[in-house]
Amino acid sequence: MARTIITGAFPSTRPRRLRQADWVRRLVRETRPTPDDLVWGLIVHDGPEKRIPVRSMPGVDRLNIDEAARAAVRARELGIPALAIFPHIRADLKDEAGSEAANPDGLVPNVIRAMKAAAPEVGVACDVALDPFTSHGHDGRLDETGYVVNDETVAALMEQALIQARAGADIVAPSDMMDGRIGAIRDQLDEEGFDRVMILSYAAKYASAFYGPYRDAVGTASTLRGDKKTYQMDFGNTQEALRETAMDIEEGADLVMVKPGLPYLDIVRRVSEEFGAPTLVFQISGEYAQIKAAAAQGWLDEDRAIIETMSAFKRAGASGVITYFAERAAQLLG
Ligand code: PBG
């Protein structure tokens, strides 16, 4: 068997020479996340309490509208470009159809208005999906058998995106994985004169165990009937992620997203390389909780884990990261 013999490499070449001191490590570092890469994920609620801690996400609170506006100001101070809002809706406002999602005076539109009034220079992205609003916790409407119906759901999402745009959202971000929703939302926004509102498509979103803490945060953990496998992707698939992304870009997505983050870096790499579209990655609630829980035990250093994961996302080709760590990450990276 032929063997490749690399002659003359070692000892004349010693890769460790470039690692011997901080200054040279900094000099040769290839990837460097900055606050510009961050989108700050925020959970909001419509009660009077300023902050309600989320048990499964230590350090994350549900914010009321005033606190959310303050977070926007904080984002501006820290150089964080944008915020992504996720609502916790009161149980008495939820129904089978998720009708509260279309309320122009609901929590999300009010948060958008408060944020844009407080810090208009900070981008506001809104989740488009019905799960926080439905009594059953699914992202769409159900038929008699409990199946999430596609086209009727898309019609509801168009309404939801429109009220977000009217309230001043800069980005609408469908996270529901219905077929055809990007094109439908784009057409409707354009017809209504919102041609500058961007669409961030959750293009490759997998049915993941790592969403657990989020469902606790937005109050769908106890109500969710079944799982989301008939619309979110199977975690065994890569080609499907590429087809999904191609369709969403074709339908008019301005930015695309891969979700979850760290366990799916291979997908981030493929999507960012094959399409060349701005590719965001979501460091989701379960990833956040893992780091927090281990750090609380003293099993790892939280700050170092934050920087390392941000670097990993960038190295894989992400243009930005949605993360609940954004405030701390911006302090560390700024
Ligand atoms: C659903 C939605 C989910 C997240 C944001 N919007 C996941 C889900 O329940 O399927 C997850 C965010 C996270 O885990 O941090 N529309």
pLDDT of 257 strictly over 60: yes
**Nearest CA among 287, 279, 290, 326 for reference residue 307:** 326
**Is the overall model pTM greater than 0.85, yes or no?**
yes
Of ligand 1's atoms, which has the minimum distance to the CA of residue 176?
16
Please identify, by atom number, the ligand 1 atom nearest to the C-alpha of residue 288: 15
- Mean of per-residue pLDDT scores for the chain: 96
Between CA 320 and CA 324, with CA 322 as vertex, the angle to 5 degrees is: 140
User: Annotated active-site positions, please?
Assistant: 205, 259
Closest CA to 39 of 190, 257, 264: 257
Measured N-to-C along each axis, helices 302-315 and 326-333 cross at an angle, to the nearest 10 degrees, of 90
pLDDT at 66: 97
Query: Which protein residue's CA is at the shortest distance from atom 7 of ligand 1?
Result: 211
Percent share of the chain, pLDDT over 70: 98
Cβ < 6 Å from ligand 1: which residues?
127, 129, 131, 139, 175-176, 211, 214-215, 228, 284-285
Taken in order of first residue, the domains within the chain and their CATH numbers are: 32-333 (3.20.20.70)
Question: Which residue's CA lies nearest to atom 6 of ligand 1?
Answer: 175
The atom number, within ligand 1, closest to the CA of 127 reads 6
Tell me what pLDDT residue 222 has. 85
Hey, whose CA ends up nearest to atom 8 of ligand 1? 211
pLDDT band at 157 (very low <50, low <70, confident <90, very high): very high
pLDDT of 69-81, one tens digit each? 999 999 999 999 9
Mean pLDDT across the stretch 94-98?
97
d(CA 220, CA 203): 22
